[in-house]
Amino acid sequence: MPKDSLTITDNRTGKQYELQIENGAIRASELRQIKVKPEEFGLMSYDPAFMNTASCKSKVTFIDGDKGILRYRGYPIEQLAEESNFMEVAYLVVHGELPKKEELENWKYQIMHHTYVHENIKKFVDGFHYDAHPMGMFTSTMAALSTFYPDAKEIFDPQSRQLQTYRLIGKVSTIAAYAYRHAMGFPYTYPDNDLSYAGNFLGMLFKMSEPKYKPNPTIEKALDVLFILHADHEQNCSANAMRSVGSSYVDPFSALAAASAALYGPLHGGANEAVLRMLKEIGSKDKIPAFIKEVKEGKSDKRLMGFGHRVYKNYDPRAKIIKKLADDVFEVTGKNPLLDIALELERIALQDDYFVSRKLYPNVDFYSGLIYQAIGFPVDMFPVLFAIGRTAGWIAQWQEMLLDKEQKIARPRQLYLGYDQRDYVPIVRR
Ligand code: ACO
């Protein structure tokens, strides 16, 4: 008997089945052979929220949640944050290898020369209400972009995919900035292709009357690192949306709008905003013990926001990098007064048996909001910033799905528990 297999005994029939184990998994479709009667559909696995189902084979991102490891294409996130830059990391995530010098120059040139959007987009963004949420504006404008680029439907043409990749990574920053400027009531700022990706984004956000915007190098670097840290996170809710919607062979602008909508939700991209609200609510260090007590007692479902993670059962490696980054940013902007509360909260929580025994550690969102706020972003821009970095990962996941011969249109099964057939009853007899 081969070693990498699983023997299942169906106690309903006494029959035994041998299933291959490949890469630590069995194929769920192999279960279909297990039936009591030949006409039956066969056994399925039931897995709401994909708690234990691998939906794809991937070579993009590796996470070991117990050890607190995150790697893009094999490279540790710490090394990338320390030594690389977002343009290089985006290339790595999308193409699978670090670029050579000329490849990187071309990649940067192409992306920065695809930052402009059609003038009609401005009119489109103008149509939103003055207090429209920037993430709503971003998501729907990304969907609208698909109507400007009908050639994006050529998803199996590698050249077209490459062009859409330049357009997507280039234009997400412009549309994010337009959403911000619209919300602030400021005129839109055109991209400046001489600046770095992060520098240009800061310019599109904050440039006023000065002829040439000069980003503060510390802020520019911090934003670049934050984009790196958010570039991908394997099969999370929005990556799964990108793959699932993309599996219908829709164009990548439409699929990315779906991914962005998934990110908009408070359980995914909205937690850093919740951290800020929580820190404000606590208000001062002396109130922390009472707050922790309430969380532990489970009063009104209170949670320590920015703590805990479905995958990480150790310190989120991104949180460590962000914590260090915060010091650099606060030297320029002045310290965010909420930082002291955050640090003390972390110190107390990490000594408390409730959090220790449940393996609840700070996640990426615990400190990122403090940095964003110090840079000058309103809280509802936070998920949009997340989306800019994550665009590289969404594209990589989408492309990997398209080129994977085993993938088909994503279509889960269900366990139907509703009525059996019954006859229609006319309304007068109900
Ligand atoms: N504060 C207090 N208790 C918590 C917290 C928290 N932040 N997180 C989990 N717990 C407790 C739960 O009450 C539960 O306790 P119990 O076993 O006594 O019932 C136990 O820890 C396990 O929690 P689950 O909810 O089962 O863990 P799950 O993996 O489903 O949740 C999640 C992960 C949603 C991230 C959760 O930890 C949470 O709500 N954290 C706060 C929100 C947050 O920071 N989200 C950002 C995640 S990072 C990102 O998406 C980019």
Q: Are 253 and 142 in contact (CB under 8 A)?
A: yes
Ligand 1 center–CA 73 separation, angstroms: 28
Which residue, judged by its Cα, is nearest atom 14 of ligand 1? 358
User: 165 and 233, same structural domain?
Assistant: yes
- Measured in angstroms, how far is the CA atom of residue 276 from the centroid of ligand 1? 17
Contact 226, 141 (CB under 8 A): no
Instruction: Find the domain containing 354 and state its range.
Output: 58-406
Q: Residue 232's closest CA among 255, 257, 208, 259?
A: 259
Residue 268 designated active-site: yes
In a domain, 118, yes or no: yes
426 in a domain, yes or no? no
187-243 residue pLDDT tens: 999 999 999 999 999 999 999 999 999 999 999 999 999 999 999 999 999 999 999
Q: How many domains does the chain have?
A: 2
Domain assignment of residue 33, yes or no: yes
Active site residue 129: no
5 shares its domain with 147: no
Residues 89 and 233 in one domain: yes
Per-residue DSSP letters for 159-172? Answer: HHHHHHHHHHHHHH
338 & 364 share domain: yes
Pair 4, 124 in one domain: no
Whether pLDDT at 15 is above 80: yes
Cα 233 to ligand 1 centre (Å): 18
Q: What is the largest CA-CA distance in the chain?
A: 80
**86 and 158, same structural domain?**
yes
Looking at the structure, tell me whether residues 32 and 129 fall in a common domain: no
Q: What is the DSSP letter of 362?
A: B
Taking only the tens place, the pLDDT of each residue in 140-188 is 999 999 999 999 999 999 999 999 999 999 999 999 999 999 999 999 9
Ligand 1: which residue has its CA nearest to atom 38? 308
Residues 26 and 163 in one domain: no
Cβ(84)–Cβ(228) under 8 Å?
yes
On whether both 28 and 140 belong to a single domain, the answer is no
What is the reported pLDDT for 410? 97
CA of 307 to the centre of ligand 1 (A): 7
105 falls within a domain: yes
Q: Is position 31 within any domain? A: yes
Residue 309, token pair as written in the block: 């993670």
358 Cα–ligand 1 center, Å: 9
Cβ contacts of 80 within 8 Å, gap of 6 or more? 72, 89, 92, 228
Residue 104 in domain: yes
Q: Note the pLDDT of residue 1.
A: 57
Residue nearest ligand 1's atom 22 by CA: 358
Give me the chain's average pLDDT, please.
95
CATH code for the domain in which residue 99 is found: 1.10.580.10
Q: Tell me if 352 is assigned to some domain.
A: yes
Residue-level pLDDT at 2: 62
pTM comes to: 0.93
Residues 16 and 125 in one domain: no
Q: List Cβ neighbours of 23 (8 Å cut-off, separation of 6 or more).
A: 57
144 domain residue, yes or no: yes
Note the pLDDT tens digit of each residue in 345-388: 999 999 999 999 999 999 888 889 899 999 999 989 999 999 99
Q: Whose C-alpha lies nearest to ligand 1, atom 10?
A: 308
Q: Which of 64, 118, 268, 328 is catalytic?
A: 268
Active site residue 365: yes
Pocket of ligand 1 (CB under 6 A): 268, 271, 295, 303-310, 358, 360, 363-365
How many whole angstroms from 2 Cα to the centroid of ligand 1? 40
Query: Active-site residue among 114, 251, 309, 316?
Result: 309
- pLDDT at position 302, please? 84
Of 360, 370, 382, the residue with max ligand 1 atoms within 8 A of its CB, to mutate for a pocket test, comes to 360
Do 314 and 68 form a contact (C-beta atoms < 8 A)? yes
Q: Are 165 and 276 in contact (CB under 8 A)?
A: no
Of all atoms in ligand 1, which is nearest to the CA of residue 311?
Answer: 29
**Atom of ligand 1 minimally distant from the CA of 236:** 50
Q: Are residues 272 and 202 in the same domain?
A: yes
Q: pLDDT > 70: what percent of the chain?
A: 99
* Distance of alpha carbon 154 from alpha carbon 252, whole angstroms: 10
Q: For ligand 1, what atom is nearest to the CA of residue 303? A: 1
Are 75 and 14 in a shared domain? no
pLDDT of residue 311: 86
